Chain A
Amino acid sequence: MGSGKGAAWSRWSLMPKVDRGFFLSLLPFAAVIFAVFALLAYVLVEESWPAIARFGISLFTENVWRPSERGVEFVRYGLLAPLYGTLITSVLAAALALPLSLSTVFFIEEMAPRRIRDAFSSIIDLMAGLPTIIYGLWGLEVMIPFLRRWVMEPLHLHLGFLPTFSCDPMSGASFLAAGLLLAIMIIPYMHGVIKEAYRQIPRTYREAALSLGATRYEYFRIMTSLIRPAVVAALLLGLGRAASETVAVALVVGNAFNVSPCLLAPGYTISSLIANQFTEASFFPLMENVMFAGSLVLLIIGMVFSGVGVIMMRRVRRIYGR
């Protein structure tokens, strides 16, 4: 690691003169990254302000979408439906993906023989990198027809008395479809977070558990309890990922302003709303501003989640001394 020993030079006052030129010549590139964030903050706040000033808190607590070309006094917007859809689809996705990601980590680290392990890791990397639009197309044309026929209709038929399955699955595009597709898409991500923590558990802990005669089930329970902050981090980071996913969700969520507990009903998420309507938004007064306000909320939620997630991961690293 070069970082530790280079440290003394890297403060400006301690820096040898010859290094200062190097520092200054690299500075513009670094400045671009700062500028991106500064611009982002400025643009989001400036563009969302007119909408927030006009509608106040009701922008986030009402479900209305009444655009009008006639003038600003005729329009009314409330983002409750897309906010609700974002929440419900990403919670569904993270809840489904967590047990699967825990399994894949345990499978790779403890169960699979070396060859299978390498192949399995490659597949998970492939899952992570595959363009999201490919998942979206598959979700729309392959997953939804299957889901509608074999999952949604039976659920509605047999468990229709539950509010979550009470509505008729019309096209199949729904909160459930979006949640499921998102779960598939965030598995590799959550897997990565949990695996990183799992590998930091010191060998002595493993040996201690095994020497006491733990079965592999008990061993798994002990190991997961040792990395509990990382599991929470994986959930939060997975939630953030799912909330920000755009095009795949836009293809399968159904795109309807809907605040219903029924998972079989079509809905909207903030990002799918933007993907679908932002191009036409400039024709309607305030609509662009409303969408900027939505993305500001999305960004803040994402930053908070990932911030807490990173803190959790630091905790794991600190506990195990790395």
Chain B
Amino acid sequence: MDARDLKEKIFLAGAALLSLLAVLPVFHVLLSVIWNGLGVLMEAGPSFLTGVPPPPNGGLGGIAPSLAGTLLLAVLSSLLGIPLSLFAAIFAVEFPDNPLAKGVRVLSKALLEIPSVVVGMLIYAVVVVPMGRFSMLAGSLALAIMMIPYVTTYVEQALEGVPFTYREAGFALGLSRPRVVFDILVGIARRGILTGILIGFAKVLGETAPLLFTLGRDRYNVPLGPLDYGDSISLLIFDYAQTPYANMHRVAWGAALVLTALFLIIFLVSRRLTEEVFL
């Protein structure tokens, strides 16, 4: 074996090892969450999903308001963000040479580069301060901004993937432009569009930073309206991980398992829908 072969062997072993090293942590993260979280969930029982958080050093309680908050926020932000992203993407795809549409295409991706905590500060300045209160609405607005780049990317790709002949067929039938888009193109591209919606949903489910200064962190009451204070599982984990109390750290682990489970469900569904997932 000469030096070149040896170099190749070392290189291949090194590349395999480094690749393994790159993905090893995520397994450890998942196992830690399951290991620590499952113990908490078993001990607390179903009331972990229906109760309110415990006092310091006082048992495990539950995370119902935060869980409800996370789900409601995901729904509310989707109601705001998905139609917006969908129509903005259609605009960008349908009028590709128009400067406004080009701008939308670039800017909707550039949203990805705004740090999530800055989105939170923006909503704090333009919604929370003028309204004089934190609210689910403010949190949802911040999350809606977060989901735009993901959803528009997927919708644009899906719509552009529809062969031009379908469009021509629609026009040949005498359909108007909007009818062609909504009745034909959206229908054909529905898988890609749905994937985009799911990815956006999964993304906002786990977000923390945009909610820090918008939601109010009321973790003892389930939010009933968009103007109520709210909480999310992610915020609860962030706060409880920083407390000095052992029982609250355990609640954080239990909450982490709930959040990870929610994320994994959506992740797996979206994997079934498409081969390539970009998050």
Check A129 against B203 for contact (C-beta < 8 Å): yes
A18 touches B263 (CB 8 A): no
Is A6 positioned at the interface, with any CB of B under 8 Å from its CB? yes
| Min C-beta distance of B103 to chain A, whole Å | 7
B279 lies within 8 A of chain A by Cβ: yes
The answer to whether residues A7 and B15 also contact, given A18-B176, A134-B259, A184-B25 and a CB cut-off of 8 A, is: no
- Residue A302 lies at the interface, judged by CB distance under 8 Å to chain B: yes
A278, B101: Cβ atoms closer than 8 Å? no
- Residues in B with CB closer than 8 Å to A184 are 25-26
Please measure, in the bound complex, the distance between the C-alpha atom of A159 and the C-alpha atom of B29, giving whole angstroms: 29
**Which parts of B1-27 form the interface with A (CB within 8 Å)?**
4-5, 7-8, 10-12, 14-16, 18-19, 21-23, 25-26
> Interface 1/0s, chain B 21-48, versus A by CB < 8 A?
1110110110011001000000000000
Q: Which residue of B lies closest to A215 (CB)?
A: B8
Q: Which residue of A27, A43, A103 is within 8 Å of B100 (Cβ)?
A: A27
Given known contacts A131-B208, A133-B238, A138-B28, A240 and B113 CB-to-CB distance under 8 angstroms: yes
B interface footprint on A194-228 (CB within 8 Å = 1, 0 otherwise): 00000000000000000000011110100000000
The contact of B209 among A130, A271, A302, by CB within 8 Å, is A271
| A141 adjacent to chain B (CB < 8 Å) | yes
- In the complex the two chains form, is B278's CB within 8 Å of A192's CB? yes
Q: How far is the CA of A10 from the CA of B8 in the complex (A)?
A: 54
Count contacts on B: residues with CB < 8 A to the other chain.
95
B267 A126 Cβ-Cβ under 8 A = yes
Chain A contact-residue range equals 35 or more
- Give every chain B residue within 8 A of A274 (Cβ-Cβ): 117, 121
Give the Cβ gap from B118 to chain A, nearest Cβ, in Å: 5
Which residue on chain B has the smallest CB distance to residue A189?
B279
Residues B93 and A3 in contact, CB atoms below 8 Å apart:
yes
Which candidate, A63-71, A256-264, A292-300, is the interface stretch facing chain B?
A: A292-300
B interface, by DSSP: helix, strand, loop or mixed? helix
For residue A137, CB closer than 8 A to chain B, the reply is: yes
The one of A121, A130, A245, A292 in contact with B26, judged by C-beta atoms closer than 8 angstroms, is A130
Q: Is A138 a contact partner of B93 (Cβ separation < 8 A)?
A: no
Q: A133-B237, A138-B33 are in contact. Are A271 and B205 (CB under 8 A)?
A: no
Closest chain-B Cβ to A149's Cβ sits at a distance in Å of 16
> A33, B88: Cβ atoms under 8 Å?
yes
Contact B249 A141 (CB under 8 A): yes
Q: Is the CB–CB distance between B121 and A136 below 8 Å? A: no
Which B residue's beta carbon lies closest to that of A122?
Answer: B271
Given A130-B29, A133-B238, A271-B209, the answer on whether A33 and B108 have CB atoms closer than 8 Å is: yes
> Do the beta carbons of A27 and B91 come within 8 Å of each other?
yes
Known interface pairs A217-B7, A279-B213, A292-B121; A133-B259 also in contact (CB < 8 Å): yes
Which among A34-42, A52-60, A76-84, A163-171 touches the partner chain?
A34-42
B115 contacts A by Cβ under 8 Å:
yes
Residues of B within 8 A of A131 (CB): 205-208, 234, 259-260, 263
Within 8 A of A (CB), among B92-143: 92-98, 100-101, 103-104, 107-108, 110-111, 113-118, 121-122, 124-126
In the complex where A124-B23, A217-B11 touch, is A7 in contact with B94 (Cβ < 8 A)? Answer: no
Q: When A27-B91, A39-B122 are in contact, do A128 and B117 touch as well, CB less than 8 Å? A: no
**Is there a chain A Cβ closer than 8 Å to B87's Cβ?**
yes
Q: Give the complex CA separation of A227 and B32 in angstroms.
A: 37
Bound together, the chains give a CA A247 to CA B234 distance in angstroms of 10
Cβ A306 vs Cβ B113 within 8 A: yes
Which of A104-112, A150-158, A311-319 binds B?
A104-112
Q: Which of B21, B95, B209, B234 has the most CB of A within 10 A?
A: B95
Query: Is A62 positioned at the interface, with any CB of B under 8 Å from its CB?
Result: no
Q: A129-B202, A134-B256, A134-B259 are in contact. Are A40 and B122 (CB under 8 A)?
A: yes
B252 contacts the other chain (CB 8 A): yes
Separation of A68 and B64 alpha carbons in the complex (Å) = 38
- Closest-CB distance, B70 to chain A (whole angstroms): 10
The 3 A-B pairs of least Cβ separation, nearest first, read: A131-B206, A244-B115, A129-B279
* A–B complex contacts, Cβ < 8 Å, 17 sampled: A2-B162, A22-B181, A23-B98, A29-B87, A30-B100, A33-B108, A43-B125, A104-B22, A107-B19, A131-B206, A132-B208, A134-B237, A137-B252, A141-B36, A184-B25, A244-B114, A250-B238
